[in-house]
Amino acid sequence: MTDYYETLGVQRDASPEQIKKAYRKLARELHPDVAGAAGEEKFKDVARAYEVLSNREKREQYDHGVDPTAPGGGAGGGFGQGFGFQDIFETFFGGGQASGPVPRARRGQDALVRMDIDLVEATFGAKRELQVDTAVVCGTCGGNGCRPGTDVRTCDVCHGRGNVQRVARSFLGQVMTTAPCAACQGFGTVIPEPCAECSGDGRVRSRRSLTVNVPAGVDTGTRIKLTSQGEVGPGGGPAGDLYVEIREKAHDVFVRRGDDLHCTLPVPMTAAALGTVLELDTLDGVEEIDLRPGTQPGQILTLKGLGVGHLHGNGRGDLNIHVEVQVPTELDEEQTTLLHQLAGLRGEERPEPRLVAAHPGVFSRLKDKLSGR
């Protein structure tokens, strides 16, 4: 008994979809119109295998050792229930149902533009004017593509159907198929006198101005969607959407990490030791910083709620001020004498060297230094 599974090149537990896919592939390769007379016998074998394996009852009989296509096997030769005209037709002609004319007005494409903003705009949000070059409805023809005073005309070839029928020869004989009408491109109508402004497309390119509401909290890569502000479609069809991609420019002082801001505050050694009140320019204006006595290098002073606004939700991030204690490198004679006196009073003229474990923050600062942050 012929091994139909081997003929189609599938496993015995193959699904109906796998069997159908394998058959279609082989049928296209072995069809006499493609492979010539040499492939005719193999094509018949493939068709017979599909006839059996595509029918549940026949496949069960075959799996139990009975070939339903053999004389007396239950169903005579030829095409059975599982192997019908529809399968053959779809295999070679991709179906034949007429779908009707294609509408001229179609949705336009989405568009993407990029917009640079600064940190202040990202923190508080802003309204920006944006100039974009997109396709807009042709003002001369109103989108129908026809010269003013004229209109579309029903296609003389397909008579408005948008497709034409043709007869194709196959191993089944003559088969009627449908294809898009070449005269009207499937629209069912033709434009006898195209608009001189848009050449019949119904749209032209133009620069226009848009107002973009930039919400607080946007960051580089954030996309703002402007519905129906993209390209107008052919034939004056509805516009697609416009996406505005944000690029945030670097700030001279503040570095953004998420919704938090970071900056470095250099302070004299004496101010760190004695403590003082400093005024700092922030994005919200001047803020007083209380530098407590004994402030250490690398200490972080946090101002709550002075960071970037949250994109999703209320509130803002924090402003983190990293203290950098400056040690003087040039001292005059009087300053040197005073420092020696201070060192003597504190017993630090000859301090004993003592190594301690490095704080994790040291490695973080080293990593930032190496990465250029």
329: in domain = yes
Question: Which residue matches tokens 């420092």?
Answer: 339
Residues 293 and 345 in one domain: yes
Residues 134 and 240 in one domain: yes
Per-residue pLDDT at 174: 64
What average pLDDT does this structure show over 182-201?
94
Per-residue pLDDT at 13: 86
Asked whether residue 263 is marked as a ligand-binding residue, the answer is no
> 367 pLDDT exceeds 70?
no
168: in domain = no
Span 239-293, pLDDT tens digits: 999 999 999 999 999 999 999 999 999 999 999 999 999 999 999 999 999 999 9
> 106 pLDDT exceeds 60?
yes
Residues 235 and 289 in one domain: no
Name the residue among 304, 321, 319, 220 with its Cα closest to residue 267: 321
Per-residue pLDDT at 249: 96
Answer whether 28's CB lies under 8 Å from 92's CB.
Answer: yes
Residues 259 and 244 in one domain: no
Residues 340 and 214 in one domain: no
Residues 33 and 86 in one domain: yes
What element of type H or E holds 135?
Answer: strand 126-137
Residues 242 and 260 in one domain: no
159: in domain = no
Span 43-92, pLDDT tens digits: 888 888 888 888 888 888 888 777 777 665 544 344 334 444 444 544 45
Give the percent of the chain with pLDDT over 70.
83
Helix 16-30 and helix 85-93, axial crossing angle in degrees, nearest 10: 60
Q: Residue 171 — pLDDT band, cuts 50, 70, 90?
A: low
Of 63, 93, 123, the one marking the end of a domain is: 93
Helix 56-63 and helix 40-53, axial crossing angle in degrees, nearest 10: 100
Asked whether residue 155 is marked as a ligand-binding residue, the answer is yes
Q: What is d(CA 201, CA 137) in angstroms, rounded to the nearest whole number? A: 9
Residues 85 and 9 in one domain: yes
Asked whether residue 138 is marked as a ligand-binding residue, the answer is yes
What average pLDDT does this structure show over 190-194?
95
366: in domain = yes
Answer whether 111's CB lies under 8 Å from 243's CB.
Answer: yes
> 200 pLDDT exceeds 90?
yes
Determine whether 312 is exposed, middle or buried from the number of CB atoms within 10 Å of its CB (0-12, 13-18, 19+). Answer: exposed
> 20 pLDDT exceeds 70?
yes
Per-residue pLDDT at 296: 94
Residues 243 and 304 in one domain: no
pTM metric for this prediction: 0.63
DSSP 3-state of 346: helix
- Cite the DSSP H helix spans in the chain: 4-8, 16-30, 32-35, 40-53, 56-63, 85-93, 119-124, 269-274, 333-346, 360-370
- CATH number of 298's domain: 2.60.260.20
> 95 pLDDT exceeds 50?
no
What's the token pair of residue 372? 């250029």
Residue 321 phi, psi dihedral angles, 5° rounding: -105, 115
Answer whether 139's CB lies under 8 Å from 197's CB.
Answer: yes
Residues 240 and 268 in one domain: no
> 363 pLDDT exceeds 80?
no
> 347 pLDDT exceeds 90?
no
Residues 342 and 264 in one domain: yes
278: in domain = yes
237: in domain = yes
Asked whether residue 181 is marked as a ligand-binding residue, the answer is yes
Per-residue pLDDT at 25: 86
Residues 296 and 211 in one domain: no
What mean pLDDT value characterizes the chain? 85
> Residue 9: which domain range?
4-93
Per-residue pLDDT at 35: 67
13: in domain = yes
**128, β-bridge pairs:** 212
Per-residue pLDDT at 371: 54
Of 249, 273, 307, the one marking the end of a domain is: 249
Per-residue pLDDT at 315: 94
Q: Structural domain tally of the chain?
A: 3
- CATH number of 76's domain: 1.10.287.110
Of 216, 249, 282, the one marking the end of a domain is: 249
Helix 16-30 and helix 40-53, axial crossing angle in degrees, nearest 10: 170
